[in-house]
């Protein structure tokens, strides 16, 4: 390389650094701006958020969003994600990349983070989205799409849950998925939204969904489940999910019969016969059961099962309610 | 302003004095065009199934012929004969692949193999994905082999280990090997049979055509097959992922037959059609090498760039290496990681020093280091870094296991 070329190269490198620097630090007056504004800043991991949002990070860590790509149950059901269809929502690129309400695409990075802070908060231009414009830290910008049900729809309508929600009175009255799944929590002197994403793995949330009643009418045991709290079907999402109304009778000597299922609320697998019996928002379903002679009382239970064939003593079965009804 | 002008001039001078890699390796321009409507038109103009009335008649014949106890043996034989004489019998056999009676499904697959319509590959491969009955599965694999498709050989290997199907499966395996020009003598062990079938399947994966079948005997595309491939591509754009996954499963198992349509689809302006077509090419690999020119320009596509990188690795054209190397340090981490993971499958030995440097660089993102280590292991066997990382528990275990499995498979 001759001297002229070396000088040109060296000058070019310096000039290049200046140009890159002006892009990274925002240029005007040479004052470094927030990294969010800088094009060169890469938001690549939820760990970057932890520094300022330790409390939120702690809530998310261990949530079913965070473990979405390592949850053993999902791994088993998806044949270790060889069923590629599952990967997009369990290890997604940011929703905004493909657009709110559109399908997400799978990513390769940060597999431990599953559905991470960036999945929801990273805008298509690389900036951060939030509920309001703020000048500090990552400088979140308010974004209507981010605040819409479309944000959840990108993944949660694979199983029609947001369609179910839109058909409910909750949506018609201006409700949002976050009303139940990200309830307001105290944050320092103010309030924020919980990031544990409470749902089918949280007993209290499950119990709010259904009102389970048992009584005797016209000599029959009547069991009724009403979807009073879920803004979508109960159960919703995966076809594995099932809600069972079970009962047994106890005679005067205290001898109990076998537990029997009165009704199962579930959307069957594609190759299983039978209709979708999930219970839409605000609807009820009752079953009447003949009472055998000599019965002193009936015992009834409402189960939520993460897998349809999980037995009562399986940890994937959650007992929501248990009642006893005296039989005259 | 003057300062900026000076910089621009200096940069121009610099680029003249020292030709940069970026300049010599500029990506070909890509022009994304709507493809969905055109594909829908191909579907609409394809051969049509018989009318509902005609299908009902054909179904009646099928039920009489194949549902045990439905008619006397004599009538069943007559119905079968009538059915097989009709030109459009294959439609009802394809339909019957989802019949509730497993014996009917078996017979349908068997007859489709004999009828030899290449378009039947599409419903047969879909059946391969969902069939749980081993006997039916055997006849589906048998039909695929007869239609010149060896994508069912892994299933055949499984069936060779099942008591109910072992004998038939071993017989079909012998046929496959004979066609491939590998005649095993009577003393050949079961283990040898298994090894040879695996080798024939490897040939299929590398070529997308069955081993030992003369060029003029290879399955030829038909208008109906084209319409079915187009229909599967249209499904890729939909919201529900199950049909998307079905289509990916089918298209990647069609070998070379879907390649020209995939080359057409990867340049679609419809994002999901473009993305999932690339995913199919990633799975298809070398048999789709002809799509290289269509894939390369997508490397800088903000949405599908990472999948284009992965596909370029799988397609195996070493001309892609310089373009990939240029993006190994891309600020787009998703792209940089995909590139690091693509150079190994591509066989780009020239990338070894840079990949090794990334693995050794403790300040580099762990995702890049992991995928660089994966590529290094493929180019220069050794999995020390990944094994150590696995033991440390500092990275997603299942991802490491998957990468280690892929290295072992090679």
Q: For chain B, what is the mean pLDDT? A: 91
CA angle A240, B132, A82 (to 5 degrees): 60
Q: Tell me: the pLDDT tens digits for B109-143?
A: 999 999 999 999 999 999 999 999 999 999 999 99
CA distances for B173 relative to A318, B170, B176, B180, B254, angstroms: 49, 5, 5, 11, 20
Determine the Cα–Cα distance for residues A73 and A307; give it in Å rounded to an integer: 10
Q: Which residues of B346-377 are buried (b: 16+ CB within 10 A; e: fewer)?
A: bebeebeebbbebbeeeebbbbbbbbbbbbbb
Smallest Cβ–Cβ distance between B338 and the set A1, A16, A108 belongs to A108
Burial tier of A173 (Cβ tally within 10 Å: 0-12, 13-18, 19+) = exposed
Mean pLDDT of all residues in B176-192:
83
- Which of A102, A109, A119 to mutate to probe the B interface, most B CBs <10 Å? A109
The DSSP bridge partners found for residue A300 are: A247, A323
Q: Tell me: the pLDDT tens digits for B292-338?
A: 999 999 999 999 999 999 999 999 999 999 999 999 999 899 999 99
Neighbours of A192 (CB within 10 A): 16
- Which of B4, B14, B363 to mutate to probe the A interface, most A CBs <10 Å? B14
Residues of chain B neighbouring A157 (CB-CB closer than 8 A): 239
Whether the model clears a pTM of 0.90, i.e. scores above it, the answer is: no
- pLDDT of B80 over the 60 cut: yes
Residues of chain B neighbouring A84 (CB-CB closer than 8 A): 245, 248, 279
Percent of chain B clearing pLDDT 70 (strictly above): 94
- Looking at residue B227, what is its pLDDT? 98
- Tell me where in chain A the CATH 2.60.40.10 domain(s) lie: 203-326
Smallest Cβ–Cβ distance between B334 and the set A8, A15, A107 belongs to A107
Determine the Cα–Cα distance for residues A293 and B57; give it in Å rounded to an integer: 55
Q: Minimal Cα distance from A16: which residue of B?
A: B11
Tell me A51's DSSP state. T
Smallest Cβ–Cβ distance between B7 and the set A19, A75, A98 belongs to A19
Residue whose entry in the numeric block shows the structure tokens 């259904």: A210
- Looking at residue B14, what is its pLDDT? 41
Tell me A122's DSSP state. B
Determine the Cα–Cα distance for residues B96 and B105; give it in Å rounded to an integer: 6
Burial tier of B294 (Cβ tally within 10 Å: 0-12, 13-18, 19+) = buried
- Looking at residue B24, what is its pLDDT? 52
Size of interface A-B (CB pairs under 8 A): 91
- Looking at residue B384, what is its pLDDT? 86
CB proximity B237 to A under 8 Å: no
CB proximity B337 to A under 8 Å: yes
Q: Which of A240-244, B22-26, B353-357 has the lowest mean pLDDT?
A: B22-26
Q: How far apart are the first and last CA of chain B?
A: 57
- Looking at residue A54, what is its pLDDT? 94
Of B301, B279, B298, the C-alpha closest to B288 is: B279
Residues of chain B neighbouring A108 (CB-CB closer than 8 A): 306, 334, 337-338, 341, 367, 371
Q: Which domains, ranges and CATH numbers included, belong to chain B?
A: 154-217 (no CATH), 285-410 (1.25.10.10)
The pair of three-digit structure tokens given for residue B27, joined into one six-digit string: 């990506």
Inter-chain contact A8–B130, Cβ cutoff 8 Å? no
Determine the Cα–Cα distance for residues B155 and A291; give it in Å rounded to an integer: 52
CATH superfamily of A203-326: Immunoglobulins (2.60.40.10)
CB proximity B395 to A under 8 Å: yes
Residues 113-142 of B with CB under 8 A from A: 130
Is the Cα dihedral A213, A217, A222, A228 positive or negative?
Answer: negative
Interface of A with B (CB under 8 A): 1, 4-5, 8-9, 11-13, 15-16, 18-19, 40, 42, 44, 69-70, 75, 80-81, 83-86, 88, 93, 97-98, 102-103, 105, 107-112, 157-158, 270-271
What's the distance, CA A224 to chain centroid? 27
CB proximity B334 to A under 8 Å: yes
Of B116, B149, B123, B114, the C-alpha closest to B228 is: B123
Query: Is B343 within 8 Å of B321 (Cβ atoms)?
Result: yes
Tell me A296's DSSP state. E
Inter-chain contact B245–A85, Cβ cutoff 8 Å? yes
Average pLDDT by consecutive 10-residue portion of chain A (328 residues)?
46 41 34 43 88 94 96 90 88 96 96 97 93 89 93 95 96 94 91 94 95 96 97 94 98 96 94 92 97 97 96 96 93
- Looking at residue B5, what is its pLDDT? 44
Determine the Cα–Cα distance for residues B41 and B37; give it in Å rounded to an integer: 6
| Local confidence band at B13 (pLDDT 50, 70, 90 cut-offs) | very low
Determine the Cα–Cα distance for residues A135 and B391; give it in Å rounded to an integer: 43
Of B163, B115, B165, B111, the C-alpha closest to B137 is: B165
Of A119, A120, A121, the C-alpha closest to A106 is: A119
Inter-chain contact A11–B402, Cβ cutoff 8 Å? no
- Looking at residue A315, what is its pLDDT? 94
Inter-chain contact B7–A15, Cβ cutoff 8 Å? yes
CA distances for A268 relative to A214, A264, B1, B242, angstroms: 26, 10, 68, 15
- Can you spell out the DSSP letters for B376-406? HHHHS---HHHHHHHHHT-S-HHHHHHHHHH
Mean pLDDT of all residues in B389-403:
92
The pair of three-digit structure tokens given for residue B141, joined into one six-digit string: 């694999």
CA distances for A150 relative to A69, A103, A161, A173, B111, angstroms: 22, 10, 12, 17, 48
- Looking at residue A168, what is its pLDDT? 96
Inter-chain contact A8–B13, Cβ cutoff 8 Å? yes
């Amino acid at each position: 390389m001759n001297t002229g070329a070396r000088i040109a190269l060296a000058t070019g490198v310096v000039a290049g650094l200046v140009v890159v620097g002006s892009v990274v630090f925002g240029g005007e007056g040479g004052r470094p701006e927030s990294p969010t504004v800088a094009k060169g800043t890469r938001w690549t991991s939820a760990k970057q958020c932890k520094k300022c949002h330790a409390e939120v990070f702690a809530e998310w860590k261990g949530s079913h969003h965070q473990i979405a790509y390592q949850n053993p149950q999902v791994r088993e059901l998806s044949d270790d994600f060889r069923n590629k269809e599952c990967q997009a929502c369990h290890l997604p690129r940011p929703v905004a990349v493909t657009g709110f309400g559109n399908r997400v695409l799978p990513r390769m990075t940060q597999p431990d983070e599953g559905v991470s802070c960036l999945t929801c908060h990273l805008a298509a231009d690389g900036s951060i989205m939030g509920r309001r414009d703020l000048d500090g830290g990552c400088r979140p910008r308010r974004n209507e799409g981010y605040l819409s049900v479309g944000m959840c729809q990108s993944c949660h309508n694979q199983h029609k849950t947001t369609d179910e929600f839109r058909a409910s009175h909750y949506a018609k009255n201006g409700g949002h998925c976050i009303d139940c799944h990200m309830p307001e929590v105290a944050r320092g002197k103010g309030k924020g939204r919980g990031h544990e994403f409470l749902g089918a793995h949280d007993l209290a949330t499950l119990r709010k969904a259904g009102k389970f009643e048992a009584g005797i009418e016209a000599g029959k045991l009547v069991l009724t489940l009403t979807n009073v709290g879920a803004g979508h079907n109960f159960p919703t999402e995966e076809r594995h999910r099932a809600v069972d109304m079970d009962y047994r009778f106890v005679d005067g000597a205290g001898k109990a019969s076998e537990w029997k299922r009165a009704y199962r609320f579930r959307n069957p697998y594609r190759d299983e016969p039978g209709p979708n019996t999930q219970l839409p928002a605000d609807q009820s379903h009752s079953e009447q059961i003949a009472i055998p002679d000599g019965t002193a009382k009936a015992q009834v239970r409402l189960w939520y099962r993460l897998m349809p064939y999980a037995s009562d003593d399986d940890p994937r079965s959650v007992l929501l309610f248990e009642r006893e009804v005296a039989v005259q | 302003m003057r300062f900026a002008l000076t910089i621009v001039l200096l940069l121009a001078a610099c680029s003249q004095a020292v030709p940069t890699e970026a300049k010599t390796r500029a990506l070909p321009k890509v022009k994304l065009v709507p493809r969905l409507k055109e594909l829908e038109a191909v579907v609409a103009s394809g051969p049509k199934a018989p009318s509902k009335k005609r299908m009902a008649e054909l179904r009646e014949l099928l039920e009489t012929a194949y549902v045990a106890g439905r008619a006397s043996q004599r009538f069943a034989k007559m119905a079968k004969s009538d059915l097989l004489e009709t030109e459009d019998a294959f439609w009802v056999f394809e339909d019957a692949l989802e019949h509730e009676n497993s014996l009917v499904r078996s017979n349908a697959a068997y007859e489709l193999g004999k009828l030899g319509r290449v378009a039947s590959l599409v419903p047969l491969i879909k059946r391969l994905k969902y069939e749980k009955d081993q006997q039916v599965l055997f006849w589906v694999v048998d039909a695929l082999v007869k239609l010149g498709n060896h994508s069912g050989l892994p299933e055949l290997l499984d069936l060779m280990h099942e008591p109910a199907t072992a004998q038939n499966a071993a017989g079909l395996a012998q046929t496959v090997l004979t066609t491939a020009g590998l005649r095993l003598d009577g003393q050949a062990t079961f283990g040898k049979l298994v090894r040879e079938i695996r080798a024939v399947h490897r040939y299929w994966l590398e070529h997308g055509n069955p081993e030992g079948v003369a060029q003029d005997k290879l399955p030829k595309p038909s208008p109906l097959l084209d319409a079915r491939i187009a229909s599967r591509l249209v499904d890729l754009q939909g919201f529900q992922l199950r049909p998307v996954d079905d289509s990916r499963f089918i298209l990647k198992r069609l070998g070379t037959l879907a390649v020209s349509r995939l080359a057409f689809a990867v340049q679609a302006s419809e994002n999901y059609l473009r993305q999932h077509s690339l995913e199919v090419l990633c799975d298809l690999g070398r048999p789709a090498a002809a799509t290289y020119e269509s894939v390369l320009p997508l490397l800088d596509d903000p949405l599908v760039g990472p999948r284009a990188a992965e596909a370029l690795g799988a397609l195996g054209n070493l001309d892609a290496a310089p373009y990939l190397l240029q993006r190994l340090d891309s600020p787009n981490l998703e792209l940089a990681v995909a590139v690091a993971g693509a150079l190994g499958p591509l066989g780009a030995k020239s990338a070894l020093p840079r990949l090794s440097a990334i693995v050794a660089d403790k300040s580099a993102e762990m995702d890049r280091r992991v995928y660089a280590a994966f590529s290094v292991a493929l180019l220069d066997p050794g999995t020390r870094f990944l094994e150590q990382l696995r033991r440390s528990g500092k990275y997603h275990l299942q991802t490491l296991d998957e990468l280690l499995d892929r290295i072992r498979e090679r």
